[in-house]
Structures are given as C-alpha cells and as structure tokens.
Amino acid sequence: MVTLSTFMLIVLQHNAAHLGIATGKCLSESVTENVKNPFLKRLISYSAVGAAISTAMAEILGGGIALEMLFGLPIKIGAALVTLLVLYFEFTNAYKKIEKVIIGFVSLIGIAFLIEVIFAGVSWPEAAKGWVAPAFPAGSMAIIMSVLGAVVMPHNLFLHSEVIQSRQWNLEDEAVIQKQLKYEFGDTLLSMIIGWAINSAMILVAAATFFDKGKVVTDLVQAGEVLKPLLGNAASIIFALALLFAGVASTITAGMAGGSIFAGIFKEPYDIKDSHSKWGVLVTMIPAFLIILFIKDPFKGLIYSQMLLSMQLPITIFTQIYLTSSKKVMGKYANSLGDKIVLWVIAVIVAGLNVALIVTGF
C-alpha cells in the first residue's frame, strides 16, 4: 500500500497542480464555480473540510503524545497547547521563522530510519515482494486504508492546487506554463520517492524490531524503541521531539488546507488576512481539538482518523477527474486520454478498497 499510494499521490498531486497552474484557481474555487448541483457541491466541499479536521486531529494528538513523552503532560493538555501554538503560527506567519529547524529535525529522524534499515536484518527478497505484491491479512483493512489516507491525504490535494496557483502561471504564455508543469512534476516526483523510501524504512525497521520478536504494538511511544540501536538511550527523546515538530508542521498544513477549502467555497483564494480564510482555519482546528477530548485510545484514534481520509478520497478524486478533464474548465490543458485512463484506474482502485473496507466491517 505504501508503494501503490505513493504512485497515486504522484499522479493526483501533479494533476491538482495542473488545475492550479492552468486555471489560476484552486480545487475548492473550481468546485464552487463549476459543480452546478448544490448537493454535490456541498458534499465535496464539506467532506474536504472534514478531511482537514480529521488530519488536524491526528496531528494535534501526535503532538500531545510527544509532550507526554517529553514532560509527562496529560495528552489532552498537551493537545490544547499544540492547538494554541499552531493557531499562533497560522495567524502570525511566525512559522516561517522556525520552518528550517522543524524540517531539519524531522529529516534527521527520516535519515535515521533509512540508516537503521541497513542494520535491521531485513530479508530483502521478502521486502521486494512486499513492495509490489498485494496482500490482505485478516483484520488488516483498517490499517491498509489508514496507510492510504495518511499518504494520499485529500485535503493536501486541495492545498497543493492552492499553493501552486498562487503565482498565477495561467496569466503567463504557454511556454511558461509548460515549464512550470514540468518543474512541478519533477519536484513532486523527487519528494514522493524520498517519502516512499522513509515510509518503507519505518515499516521494515518496525517489522524487524517488533514483529520478528513477537512484540505487539499498542502505543505510539513504542516507536521510539526502533531508534535505540542508532541513537542510544536518547532515542525516545529525539523521537518525541521529531514527533512534536512533525505534528506542529502537519497541523499547520491541515489548518491552511481547511482555510483554503473554506475560502474557495466563497470563490476566494487562501489569504490568512481575509475573514473566510481565518474562519476556515478555526473551523478546522477547533473541532479537531474537541474530538480529542472524547478519544479514549489515542493509538486507535490515529489509525481511524487516517482511515476516514481514505473514505473521503474517492469524492476528491472523482471531482478532480471531472474538473481536469473538462475543456470548459481547463481549455487546451484538459487531461489527455492517457491521463484519463490512469486517473480512472486510480479512482476505481480507491473506490474498490473502500467498498472492501465497508464489507469487512472495518
């Protein structure tokens, strides 16, 4: 699923960028302008906001768990502190001042996992098979779909179309547009391959650390154990710091996505100085925190929140295909036949997996 979902993300994210670059409008704005059925319009927009809330909840929860690991704070109090910190960053743009520090620290953990793969005693023939061979162990659908949702986050497709169109490439000549489409695809491809490698390394190292030794994973805190061979006794502290930084960064992204989607409902681009964007951030962040207050099992909360993303994903994908295939919306930049085939195959696979999830009763 890590391999399949990474491929899907490359295609879908580039397609979302295609929409933004060619039209100068984000996915949410395009939905508002081009989907005429009021019910469908609300379903698409509100479910996308719901996806942003679900992501924000998981990331705030992760930050709360990190603060518990570092300082012994109750998770709900830690979650409140993370929420307040993220709202401060969102409304003041102060995040940019520490962005490089956060990226550097999270990258350190990613590199650590990649290095640990070398020492983990991985059976590479089995790993190679696992990268490409579908398997559905009994009771695994929730985990499988949570991986899909965690990699192909639907709200990020909305945000990516927003970020890429903010330069208004559609106002430039065709040569500039084609250049930006190629540049964006190369950037997406490189970052997604790195993400695939780190995600794969995490699973392989965890399998060698826990599964082969018969340990049952019931708590995110246990994940710090896999880094001890490389980072020693400080592994849990370093892991907790990376978890905190990653939670803050991803929550900011989820808030921006919610703001972008909400502003798009009013045919406006994301602008944190604008009231609709501000309300979108608040509509994302506040419910996300309130949900945490009712969660009894944080570990399961993380899994099911990502599973909910996968359940919203077909709505976003079908919408995106409709918009990017329309010559009325895209003009001469509408999807080619080859693009349509690949996109529809992805859509059918995602929809089929969601049907399987429902049939198996999670």
Report CA-CA distances (Å) from 71 to 65, 66, 84, 297.
Answer: 10, 9, 18, 20
**Cα(251)–Cα(7) distance, rounded to whole angstroms?**
24
- Tell me the pLDDT tens digit for each residue of 146-161: 999 999 999 989 988 8
**Cα(244)–Cα(70) distance, rounded to whole angstroms?**
9
Q: What phi, psi does 288 have (nearest 5°)?
A: -60, -45
Angle 263-267-271 from CA coordinates, rounded to 5°: 40
**Cα(150)–Cα(96) distance, rounded to whole angstroms?**
24
With bands split at pLDDT 50, 70 and 90, how would you rate the model's confidence at 21? confident
- Whether 342 shows a pLDDT value over 90: the answer reads yes
- Whether 301 shows a pLDDT value over 70: the answer reads yes
Report CA-CA distances (Å) from 313 to 91, 155, 353.
Answer: 28, 9, 11
**Cα(340)–Cα(322) distance, rounded to whole angstroms?**
10
Q: What is the DSSP string of 81-143?
A: HHHHHHHHHHHH-THHHHHHHHHHHHHHHHHHHHHHHHHTT--HHHHHHHHHS----TT-HHH
Looking up residue 320, the CATH number of its domain turns out to be: 1.20.1740.10
Report CA-CA distances (Å) from 350 to 189, 227, 242, 360.
Answer: 21, 33, 31, 15
**Cα(323)–Cα(115) distance, rounded to whole angstroms?**
42
Q: What is the mean pLDDT of the chain?
A: 89
- Residue numbers of the domain that contains 319: 2-359
pLDDT, position 187? 85
pLDDT, position 22? 86
Judge whether 57 and 305 are in contact, CB under 8 Å: yes
With bands split at pLDDT 50, 70 and 90, how would you rate the model's confidence at 166? low
- Whether 169 shows a pLDDT value over 70: the answer reads no
Report CA-CA distances (Å) from 162 to 5, 20, 159, 253, 287.
Answer: 22, 7, 5, 12, 23
Judge whether 321 and 341 are in contact, CB under 8 Å: no
**Overall domain count for the chain:** 1
pTM: predicted TM-score of the whole model, two decimal places:
0.90
